[in-house]
């Protein structure tokens, strides 16, 4: 039996509770890291410290305390909370640069954190058919095919602290329709579907709660 999706506001509360709580310094550091990664190159903690006007030791300590931070061999950040410069199935185009997202939902909440519009290219998890979206800071401006949905599940904070990608992102995909998603969901009873507009609204609520006035939208 396939689950019914929870109310979006209830779901947002659950998602927020699974992520690290951010104080003012954490919000500033997080947003600076997103914007530095969006330049398309690895980010060193020392460079990030300069951008965030924080001590390098404080930045390193904060990054080490957060789950979901990925580094290259030189200990530079290459992936952070949904955004990465390493090739992955969800491709993002911004300012003629190619970036990547960990999961389908990331493509919907990242525009507000980057304060830009993203052109997204992905695929339907079931059929492999192309999926294309244009997502602004305020809405899903366009989505193809029509009827696009996103698979989702209630996140578990403990599991996400171990690996957000394997415990959460591996369950969050685009599907061209509810019918296309049906066989996949039957094998994963903890998952459910969200229309792409509801998944965007979920991202807006989560961003609003976590970042508040630090966001420009």
Sheet holding 174-175, edge to edge: 174-175, 149-153, 191-195
φ, ψ for residue 42 (rounded to 5)? -60, 150
Cα–Cα nearest to 82, from 64, 98, 105, 66: 105
Say if CB 34 and CB 113 are below 8 A apart.
Answer: yes
Say if CB 214 and CB 27 are below 8 A apart.
Answer: yes
Q: Active-site residue numbers?
A: 103, 106, 169
């Amino acid at each position: 039996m396939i689950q019914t999706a929870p109310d979006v506001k209830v779901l947002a509360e659950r998602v927020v509770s699974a992520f690290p709580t951010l104080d003012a310094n954490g919000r500033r550091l997080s947003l600076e890291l997103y914007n530095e990664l969006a330049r398309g190159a690895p980010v060193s903690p020392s460079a990030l410290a300069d951008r965030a006007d924080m001590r390098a030791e404080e930045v390193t300590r904060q990054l080490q305390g957060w789950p979901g931070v990925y580094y290259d061999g030189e200990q530079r950040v290459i992936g952070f909370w949904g955004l990465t410069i390493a090739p992955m199935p969800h491709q993002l185009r911004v300012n003629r640069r190619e970036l990547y997202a960990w999961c389908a939902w990331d493509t919907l909440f990242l525009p507000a954190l980057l304060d830009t519009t993203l052109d997204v290219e992905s695929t339907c998890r079931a059929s492999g058919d192309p999926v294309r979206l244009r997502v602004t800071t305020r809405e899903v401006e366009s989505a193809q095919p029509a009827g696009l949905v996103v698979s989702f599940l209630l996140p578990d904070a403990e599991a996400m602290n171990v690996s957000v990608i394997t415990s959460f992102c591996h369950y969050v995909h685009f599907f061209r329709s509810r019918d296309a998603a049906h066989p996949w969901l039957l094998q994963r009873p903890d998952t459910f579907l969200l229309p792409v507009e509801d998944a965007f609204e979920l991202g807006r609520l989560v961003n609003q709660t976590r970042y508040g006035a630090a966001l420009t939208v």
